Structure 1
Amino acid sequence: MYVILTYDIKLDETGPRVLRRVFKLCKKYLTHIQNSVFEGELSESQIMQLNSELKKYIRDDKDSVIIFKSRHERWLEKDFWGKCDNKLSNIF
């Protein structure tokens, strides 16, 4: 399954630590493409594992994670506006 994951971590007193941990965890499973955005192919069991690991750090009252799922990358049309970094070159 093709996945795009994005997160928003509130930067209060413990926010930077949560942000570092969430970033490292997402990078373990997916490709970092822009600030708090990741993408890649994951199986349903990998998505469940990622969710389980993220729950250890995400604060339900302050932070959010959104996962967009598609059967395959080819079913998702992408348009890039502005600067296109090298880290995006693997998706063209």
Structure 2
Amino acid sequence: MYVVIVYDVGVERVNKVRTFLRQYMNWVQNSVFEGELTKAELMKVRSRLKELINDNSDHIIFYSSKDRKYLGIEELGTPKADTGNIF
């Protein structure tokens, strides 16, 4: 499935969250990751993020779709990076 994760976490946790998510997804913008995940990977990502954040002050949103082609994506400006070459 195609997943977009948007997060707003405390400054002291941003690097930990970003470093972790880079193992599974493409970093497309500050506090935004997207990519293909299996159900098992998504469960693992959710579980680890739950450990990294502070439930009282941080917020993470997961958007998911069967495939990226079903999302209505429109972009303006210059993308952060070419995600096609990220492994």
Fold-level similarity (TM above 0.5): yes
Partner Cα distance (2:81, 2:14) in 1: 23
Q: Which SS does the other structure have where 1:40 is aligned?
A: strand
Residue of structure 2 aligned with 1:67, choices 52, 62, 68: 62
Q: Which structure 2 residue ranges, 5 or more long, are not aligned?
A: none
Q: CA deviation at 1:2?
A: 0.3
Partner Cα distance (2:80, 2:59) in 1: 25
In structure 2, the partner of 1:55 is: 50
Contact 2:2-2:65 within 8 A present in 1 as well: yes
1:1-92 matches, cutoff 5 A: 1-11=1-11, 16=12, 18-88=13-83, 90=84
Q: Which SS does the other structure have where 1:29 is aligned?
A: coil
TM-score normalised per structure 1: 0.83
Partner Cα distance (2:54, 2:6) in 1: 15
Q: Which runs of 4+ in 1 moved over 3 A?
A: none
The number of equivalent residue pairs is: 84
- Alignment RMSD (CA, Å): 1.3
Residue 54 to residue 86, structure 1, CA distance change in 2 (3 Å): closer
Deviations 1:7-35 (A, max 9, x none): 00133xxxx2x111111111111000001
Contact 2:28-2:81 within 8 A present in 1 as well: no
TM-score normalised per structure 2: 0.88
